[in-house]
Chains A and B, each alone.
Chain A
Amino acid sequence: MEITRRDFLRGTLATTGGLLLGGTALNRLRIPSWAAAGGEIEVGSLLDGTGPINIYGLPMIDATKFAVDDINSKGGVLGKKLKLVAFDTQSTNERYTQYATRLILQEKVAVIHGGITSASREAIRPLMAKHKMLYFYNEQYEGGVCDKNVFSTGVTPAQQLGTLVPWAIKEYGAKCYIIAADYNYGHISADWVKVFLNKNNGALVKEEFFPLDVTDFSATVNKIQEAKPAFVMSLLVGGNHIAFYRQYAAAGMKDKIPIVSPTIGLGNEQVVLTPKEAQGITVVYPYFQELDNAANREFVRRWRSRFGSKHAYITDSANIVWTGWHLWAMAVNKSGSLDLNGVVKALESGLTFDAPEGRVKLDPQSHHVIHTVHLAQINDKRGFKILKTFPNVPPADTMDVCNLLTNPNQHTQYTPKTK
């Protein structure tokens, strides 16, 4: 077939046109800023509503709207209402940089909350430093981010692996087999697992990394059987990796070699999987829907009346998103202006907040949060059974190396030394 220049032009123009139209029509979730009423403060959110990371993103997106509306219903910030500018980043890092740039330069928002995978956070963090934008990363991660205008509110390895690894060694035995997602989160977290294995006389049998698009784990299920570890540490991430738990259970392995994980549950994997496939897997998080405290009872009641049965289980990430937005609002009200230095100073004043997970404290020197964490197992009702509570665990991984009060000009991430 011969392609004439006219055919080619027509084809490419049609395709590009389609892409542009598709891009703007689908991704614009808001009216442009010039149409917004005066006297509102625009705030930005970047989360994945589609693609493999949306298993985490969907509850976080609703938690964002919920938190912003809650802040507005209590009088807003500096007496003004917040106006949320949210983009679906589609599980694609390019979208993160594209929309972050747009939020900063075009929408001129007061703060950006968002990012789910560590790859997405690292894609946009340099932009925040460059444009002096206040940024909240509200998700569990591998720790170590030390950045003057960045606040990481999720749990870190010292809080999760620091409690989970010693427990697993005591409960199951020393030998650990690590399976992890093949990007910065998986690699750095695997190094942290090794640090905590060394500290607790554990032993690493093998570590394996999987790109996020892998769905066939049959070879690994066999390798785990061959290596005979005492337990499997899963640092798997995203919708595709859920297939591992299914294939592991289908091979009859779930009850032979137990799984522990600091990630399963954040994407409601225990709802997607049947209890037969997931029951007994052990996790550590600050938040579980089952937590019995006044703030959480109220939070769950309001969440249910707003979203109904849309989310089968309220995830830890949803709680962290809620916490991140409220900490920011408290700090702005405290500082009395949106000026970056003033807000950061207010955030560094030792804020505490009664989150659904209980009272949390923002650590001034590391910009991380001191959480009470709970060790829990997936039960037969697609929820969790809490086994043990560790009160006020500091994010020691980051606090030990990062002091933004004495050394404020930092925009870096520390990683563990395993050698």
Chain B
Amino acid sequence: MRPDEILVVALGMTVNIAVLMIVALGLSVIFGMMRVINLAHGELIMLGAYTVLTVTRATGSIWLGMAAAPVAVALVGVAVERLIIRFLYGRILDTMLATWGLSLVLVQGVTILFGPATQGLATPLGNFSVGAYSASWYGFFLIVMAALLLAVTYLVFKRTRYGLEARAATQLPEMAAALGVDAARSHMITFAFGAALAGTAGALIAPVTGVVPTIGLAFIARAFMTVIVGGPAVLLGTTAAAALLGIFENLVSYLATPFLGQGALLAVAILILRVLPSGLSGGRQRGV
């Protein structure tokens, strides 16, 4: 391989890892920390994509749309947590059924509002050359955003009072309550934060793939796989899992076909869970 080819392939791989991370981060907060299997997570991503679409069309600025997406989806997150999820903490199967129903409602609702057709947003930022190859600047932007989201999540959970309380409330709820932590409030904020991350993911992916009510389906399986392979430590596990799965998927896609790439992603995930049943960060405590 020539150096420019290696560089372009490496860049493609890093973008792939960044997308996996962006998509999985919100889920890993909601599922990894709170143990809530949110089957409507893909639809939260979809709502983020529609927010960016709507705001971009109204204002002409895609960046404004991207800023609006986490806010809008966080509000949806608060509503979902207050109206549905909070009654079902600890009841995993019931939560699955409720959130699956919610995902159907959201897909159909958006279909009624926006129509079932694919809608597009042009990819911003243009392209650049690497030797004989050219690549999109937006890929770079995705990598930067993945790192930024990771850093923000880390800081929120490790450096703020809310973060401390949220970790306490998920690890030892009784003890946290005895020390005066309002677990209900902390759960609500954590769910909204996860939803905001999902909204951001949708907003970032929209200009690459196009926007349809069923866009969540394309990402939900990968997101769950990344989170489960990652294991209990949210940030470390998700990063490691995204890196590993992303490298395999992209490399096999490049050397063979995208079809086999998807297969490789599954095979690696199964293999890891066979050897490390609790995921890559299996030995670590649940938390950030």
Contacts and interface: CB of A to CB of B under 8 A. Distances in A.
Interface of A: 1, 3, 11, 14-15, 18, 22, 26, 49-52, 54-55, 58, 182, 208-211, 213-220, 222-223, 225-226, 239-240, 242-243, 246-247, 249-253, 256, 267, 272-274, 276-277
Residue with the greatest number of chain A CB neighbours at <10 A, chosen from B12, B129, B207: B12
B59 interface: no
Given A225-B134, A251-B127, A243 B122 contact: no
A3 B138 CA distance: 48
A353 B253 CA distance: 47
B134 A256 contact: yes
A182 B263 CA distance: 14
B99 to A, nearest CB: 13
13 contacts: A22-B104, A58-B117, A217-B258, A219-B258, A222-B5, A222-B9, A222-B133, A225-B132, A239-B210, A246-B122, A251-B127, A251-B134, A276-B122
A273 B134 CA distance: 20
A372 B97 CA distance: 54
Nearest to A311: B117
B120 A242 contact: yes
B171 interface: no
Contact of B91 (A1, A250, A256, A277): A1
Nearest to A242: B210
B153 interface: no
Nearest to A271: B120
- For the complex of A and B, list the 4 residue pairs with the smallest distance between their C-beta atoms, beginning with the closest: A252-B127, A239-B118, A250-B136, A219-B253
Contacts of A58: 116-117
B139 A218 contact: yes
Interface residues of B, number: 50
Contacts of A18: 101
Contacts of A213: 217-218
A344 B208 CA distance: 48
B254 A250 contact: no
A243 B259 contact: no
Contacts of B186: none
Contact of A272 (B118, B132, B138, B253): B118
B258 A214 contact: yes
Contact of A225 (B8, B258, B259): B8
B160 interface: no
B9 A211 contact: no
Interface string B108-122: 100100001111101
B262 A250 contact: no
A210 B259 contact: yes
A210 B118 CA distance: 19
A216 B258 CA distance: 9
A208 B210 contact: no
A11 B94 CA distance: 9
Residue with the greatest number of chain B CB neighbours at <10 A, chosen from A58, A250, A252: A250
B123 interface: yes
Contacts of B139: 218
A185 B238 CA distance: 38
Contacts of A15: 97
